[in-house]
Protein backbone atom coordinates (compact mmCIF):
# COMPACT_ATOMS: atom_id res chain seq x y z
CA UNK A 1 0.00 0.00 0.00
CA UNK A 2 1.33 3.40 -0.98
CA UNK A 3 1.21 5.36 2.29
CA UNK A 4 2.12 8.61 0.60
CA UNK A 5 -0.83 8.33 -1.78
CA UNK A 6 -3.46 7.09 0.67
CA UNK A 7 -2.60 9.10 3.80
CA UNK A 8 -0.11 11.86 3.25
CA UNK A 9 -1.47 13.24 -0.02
CA UNK A 10 -4.99 14.01 1.34
CA UNK A 11 -3.40 15.55 4.41
CA UNK A 12 -1.21 17.79 2.33
CA UNK A 13 -4.21 18.81 0.21
CA UNK A 14 -6.21 19.63 3.35
CA UNK A 15 -3.39 21.72 4.80
CA UNK A 16 -2.94 23.49 1.48
CA UNK A 17 -6.63 24.40 1.33
CA UNK A 18 -6.59 25.45 4.98
CA UNK A 19 -3.57 27.66 4.36
CA UNK A 20 -5.43 29.26 1.46
CA UNK A 21 -8.71 29.66 3.37
CA UNK A 22 -7.30 30.78 6.73
CA UNK A 23 -6.24 34.30 5.63
CA UNK A 24 -9.69 34.82 4.12
CA UNK A 25 -11.30 33.64 7.35
CA UNK A 26 -9.17 35.97 9.45
CA UNK A 27 -9.97 38.84 7.08
CA UNK A 28 -13.71 38.08 7.36
CA UNK A 29 -13.55 38.01 11.17
CA UNK A 30 -11.66 41.30 11.20
CA UNK A 31 -14.24 42.86 8.86
CA UNK A 32 -17.10 41.65 11.07
CA UNK A 33 -15.58 43.00 14.28
CA UNK A 34 -14.65 46.34 12.74
CA UNK A 35 -18.02 46.58 10.99
CA UNK A 36 -19.89 45.90 14.24
CA UNK A 37 -18.17 48.86 15.90
CA UNK A 38 -18.84 50.97 12.80
CA UNK A 39 -22.54 50.03 12.83
CA UNK A 40 -22.87 50.99 16.50
CA UNK A 41 -21.13 54.30 15.83
CA UNK A 42 -23.41 55.02 12.85
CA UNK A 43 -26.49 54.29 14.97
CA UNK A 44 -25.29 56.68 17.68
CA UNK A 45 -24.54 59.47 15.19
CA UNK A 46 -27.91 59.13 13.44
CA UNK A 47 -29.80 59.05 16.75
CA UNK A 48 -28.09 62.21 18.01
CA UNK A 49 -28.57 64.02 14.71
CA UNK A 50 -32.30 63.23 14.60
CA UNK A 51 -32.61 64.31 18.22
CA UNK A 52 -30.84 67.59 17.44
CA UNK A 53 -33.21 68.41 14.57
CA UNK A 54 -36.23 67.47 16.78
CA UNK A 55 -37.33 64.72 14.44
CA UNK A 56 -39.46 63.05 17.12
CA UNK A 57 -41.39 66.28 17.70
CA UNK A 58 -42.15 66.58 13.99
CA UNK A 59 -43.12 62.90 13.86
CA UNK A 60 -45.53 63.37 16.74
CA UNK A 61 -47.19 66.29 14.96
CA UNK A 62 -47.47 64.19 11.81
CA UNK A 63 -49.17 61.37 13.71
CA UNK A 64 -46.35 58.86 13.17
CA UNK A 65 -45.76 58.42 16.90
CA UNK A 66 -49.45 57.65 17.39
CA UNK A 67 -49.33 54.97 14.69
CA UNK A 68 -46.28 53.37 16.31
CA UNK A 69 -47.99 53.43 19.69
CA UNK A 70 -51.08 51.71 18.30
CA UNK A 71 -48.85 49.09 16.72
CA UNK A 72 -47.30 48.56 20.19
CA UNK A 73 -43.86 49.66 19.01
CA UNK A 74 -42.18 51.26 22.03
CA UNK A 75 -39.30 52.91 20.14
CA UNK A 76 -39.42 56.52 19.07
CA UNK A 77 -39.25 57.25 15.31
CA UNK A 78 -35.66 58.47 15.64
CA UNK A 79 -34.69 55.25 17.41
CA UNK A 80 -36.30 53.18 14.66
CA UNK A 81 -34.39 55.02 11.94
CA UNK A 82 -31.13 54.72 13.89
CA UNK A 83 -31.76 50.99 14.30
CA UNK A 84 -32.47 50.68 10.58
CA UNK A 85 -29.13 52.36 9.83
CA UNK A 86 -27.45 49.96 12.27
CA UNK A 87 -28.80 46.83 10.56
CA UNK A 88 -28.19 48.24 7.09
CA UNK A 89 -24.56 48.87 7.99
CA UNK A 90 -24.28 45.36 9.45
CA UNK A 91 -25.74 43.88 6.28
CA UNK A 92 -23.12 45.65 4.18
CA UNK A 93 -20.43 44.44 6.59
CA UNK A 94 -21.65 40.83 6.43
CA UNK A 95 -21.77 41.00 2.65
CA UNK A 96 -18.19 42.27 2.57
CA UNK A 97 -17.11 39.47 4.92
CA UNK A 98 -18.84 36.84 2.79
CA UNK A 99 -17.09 38.19 -0.30
CA UNK A 100 -13.81 37.86 1.56
CA UNK A 101 -14.61 34.19 2.21
CA UNK A 102 -15.41 33.62 -1.45
CA UNK A 103 -18.91 32.25 -0.80
CA UNK A 104 -20.44 33.22 -4.13
CA UNK A 105 -23.99 31.92 -3.59
CA UNK A 106 -24.43 33.61 -0.23
CA UNK A 107 -22.86 36.78 -1.60
CA UNK A 108 -25.36 36.92 -4.48
CA UNK A 109 -28.28 36.45 -2.06
CA UNK A 110 -27.07 39.25 0.20
CA UNK A 111 -26.48 41.44 -2.84
CA UNK A 112 -30.13 41.01 -3.90
CA UNK A 113 -31.25 41.98 -0.40
CA UNK A 114 -28.95 44.99 -0.45
CA UNK A 115 -30.32 46.15 -3.82
CA UNK A 116 -33.86 45.96 -2.40
CA UNK A 117 -33.07 48.19 0.57
CA UNK A 118 -33.25 51.52 -1.38
CA UNK A 119 -36.85 50.64 -2.27
CA UNK A 120 -37.59 50.09 1.42
CA UNK A 121 -36.03 53.45 2.29
CA UNK A 122 -38.05 55.15 -0.47
CA UNK A 123 -41.23 53.56 0.90
CA UNK A 124 -40.43 54.82 4.40
CA UNK A 125 -39.84 58.34 3.05
CA UNK A 126 -43.17 58.19 1.18
CA UNK A 127 -44.93 57.16 4.39
CA UNK A 128 -43.36 59.95 6.44
CA UNK A 129 -44.15 62.64 3.86
CA UNK A 130 -47.62 61.19 3.39
CA UNK A 131 -48.37 61.43 7.11
CA UNK A 132 -47.21 65.05 7.19
CA UNK A 133 -49.33 65.98 4.17
CA UNK A 134 -52.37 64.04 5.44
CA UNK A 135 -52.33 65.90 8.76
CA UNK A 136 -51.81 69.25 7.06
CA UNK A 137 -54.63 68.76 4.56
CA UNK A 138 -56.95 67.37 7.24
CA UNK A 139 -56.36 70.52 9.29
CA UNK A 140 -57.13 72.72 6.29
CA UNK A 141 -60.37 70.86 5.57
CA UNK A 142 -61.38 70.90 9.24
CA UNK A 143 -60.74 74.66 9.53
CA UNK A 144 -62.60 75.49 6.32
CA UNK A 145 -65.57 73.36 7.36
CA UNK A 146 -65.63 74.88 10.85
CA UNK A 147 -65.59 78.40 9.38
CA UNK A 148 -68.64 77.39 7.36
CA UNK A 149 -70.38 76.25 10.58
CA UNK A 150 -70.56 72.66 9.35
CA UNK A 151 -71.25 70.35 12.32
CA UNK A 152 -69.33 67.51 10.66
CA UNK A 153 -66.08 69.51 10.36
CA UNK A 154 -64.13 67.03 12.48
CA UNK A 155 -65.53 64.10 10.52
CA UNK A 156 -64.54 65.69 7.20
CA UNK A 157 -61.02 66.31 8.50
CA UNK A 158 -60.72 62.76 9.81
CA UNK A 159 -62.00 61.24 6.56
CA UNK A 160 -59.52 63.33 4.57
CA UNK A 161 -56.66 62.30 6.84
CA UNK A 162 -57.35 58.58 6.73
CA UNK A 163 -58.05 58.61 3.01
CA UNK A 164 -54.63 60.14 2.35
CA UNK A 165 -52.96 57.80 4.86
CA UNK A 166 -54.43 54.75 3.10
CA UNK A 167 -53.40 56.13 -0.28
CA UNK A 168 -49.89 56.80 1.02
CA UNK A 169 -49.68 53.23 2.26
CA UNK A 170 -50.73 51.96 -1.16
CA UNK A 171 -48.04 54.08 -2.84
CA UNK A 172 -45.46 52.71 -0.39
CA UNK A 173 -46.54 49.16 -1.27
CA UNK A 174 -46.15 49.96 -4.95
CA UNK A 175 -42.65 51.27 -4.27
CA UNK A 176 -41.91 47.91 -2.68
CA UNK A 177 -43.27 46.15 -5.75
CA UNK A 178 -46.48 45.03 -4.03
CA UNK A 179 -50.06 45.65 -5.12
CA UNK A 180 -49.86 47.75 -8.29
CA UNK A 181 -53.56 47.13 -8.98
CA UNK A 182 -54.36 48.11 -5.41
CA UNK A 183 -52.59 51.43 -5.89
CA UNK A 184 -54.52 52.26 -9.04
CA UNK A 185 -57.86 51.40 -7.45
CA UNK A 186 -57.00 53.29 -4.28
CA UNK A 187 -55.99 56.34 -6.28
CA UNK A 188 -59.28 56.41 -8.19
CA UNK A 189 -61.42 55.95 -5.08
CA UNK A 190 -59.52 57.88 -2.44
CA UNK A 191 -58.49 60.78 -4.62
CA UNK A 192 -62.10 61.24 -5.63
CA UNK A 193 -63.22 61.06 -2.00
CA UNK A 194 -60.59 63.54 -0.81
CA UNK A 195 -61.32 65.91 -3.70
CA UNK A 196 -65.02 65.74 -2.91
CA UNK A 197 -64.41 66.49 0.76
CA UNK A 198 -62.17 69.42 -0.14
CA UNK A 199 -64.64 70.81 -2.65
CA UNK A 200 -67.47 70.53 -0.14
CA UNK A 201 -65.49 72.15 2.67
CA UNK A 202 -64.09 75.00 0.60
CA UNK A 203 -67.34 75.51 -1.27
CA UNK A 204 -69.38 75.80 1.90
CA UNK A 205 -66.64 77.71 3.68
CA UNK A 206 -66.37 80.26 0.89
CA UNK A 207 -70.06 80.82 0.24
CA UNK A 208 -70.25 83.64 2.80
CA UNK A 209 -67.25 85.37 1.27
CA UNK A 210 -68.77 85.07 -2.20
CA UNK A 211 -72.12 86.40 -0.96
CA UNK A 212 -70.49 89.40 0.76
CA UNK A 213 -68.41 90.17 -2.32
CA UNK A 214 -71.48 90.00 -4.57
CA UNK A 215 -73.46 92.26 -2.20
CA UNK A 216 -70.66 94.85 -2.18
CA UNK A 217 -70.40 94.70 -5.96
CA UNK A 218 -74.16 95.22 -6.44
CA UNK A 219 -74.22 98.05 -3.90
CA UNK A 220 -71.34 99.74 -5.71
CA UNK A 221 -73.14 99.35 -9.05
CA UNK A 222 -76.33 100.90 -7.64
CA UNK A 223 -74.35 103.79 -6.18
CA UNK A 224 -72.82 104.53 -9.58
CA UNK A 225 -76.26 104.58 -11.20
CA UNK A 226 -77.59 107.09 -8.64
CA UNK A 227 -74.86 109.57 -9.47
CA UNK A 228 -76.06 112.35 -11.90
Residue 227, phi then psi, degrees to nearest 5: -65, 135
Q: What is the CATH number of the domain that holds 129?
A: 1.10.287
Instruction: Tell me: do 133 and 221 sit in the same domain.
Output: yes
**Helices (H), ranges, 102-152:** 104-147
Instruction: Tell me: do 44 and 71 sit in the same domain.
Output: yes
pTM for this model (two decimals): 0.54
Q: How many domains does the chain have?
A: 2
Instruction: Tell me: do 51 and 82 sit in the same domain.
Output: yes
Instruction: Tell me: do 146 and 205 sit in the same domain.
Output: yes
Instruction: Tell me: do 75 and 129 sit in the same domain.
Output: no
Helix (H, G, I), strand (E, B) or coil at 134: helix
Instruction: Tell me: do 217 and 183 sit in the same domain.
Output: yes
Domain around 194: 117-228
Last residue of a domain, one of 78, 102, 126: 102
Instruction: Tell me: do 76 and 136 sit in the same domain.
Output: no
Instruction: Tell me: do 82 and 132 sit in the same domain.
Output: no
Helix (H, G, I), strand (E, B) or coil at 2: coil
Residue 48 lies in a domain: yes
Residue 143 lies in a domain: yes
Residue 195 lies in a domain: yes
Provide the residue-wise pLDDT of the chain in tens; the chain has 228 residues. 455 555 556 656 666 666 676 777 788 888 889 989 999 999 999 889 988 888 888 777 767 777 677 666 677 888 888 888 898 888 888 888 888 777 777 667 777 777 777 787 778 777 777 877 887 788 877 787 777 666 777 777 787 787 777 777 777 777 777 655 655 665 666 666 656 655 655 555 555 555 565 566 567 666 665 655
Q: In whole angstroms, give the CA distance from residue 135 to residue 62.
A: 6
Last residue of a domain, one of 102, 133, 160: 102
Residue 107 lies in a domain: no
Amino acid sequence: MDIDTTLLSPGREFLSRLATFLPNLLAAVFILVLGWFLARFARLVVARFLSAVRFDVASEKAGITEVLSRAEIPQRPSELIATLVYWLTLLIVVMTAVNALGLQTVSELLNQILLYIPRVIAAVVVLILGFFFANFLAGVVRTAAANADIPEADILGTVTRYALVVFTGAVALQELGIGAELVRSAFNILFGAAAGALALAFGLGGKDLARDWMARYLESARARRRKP
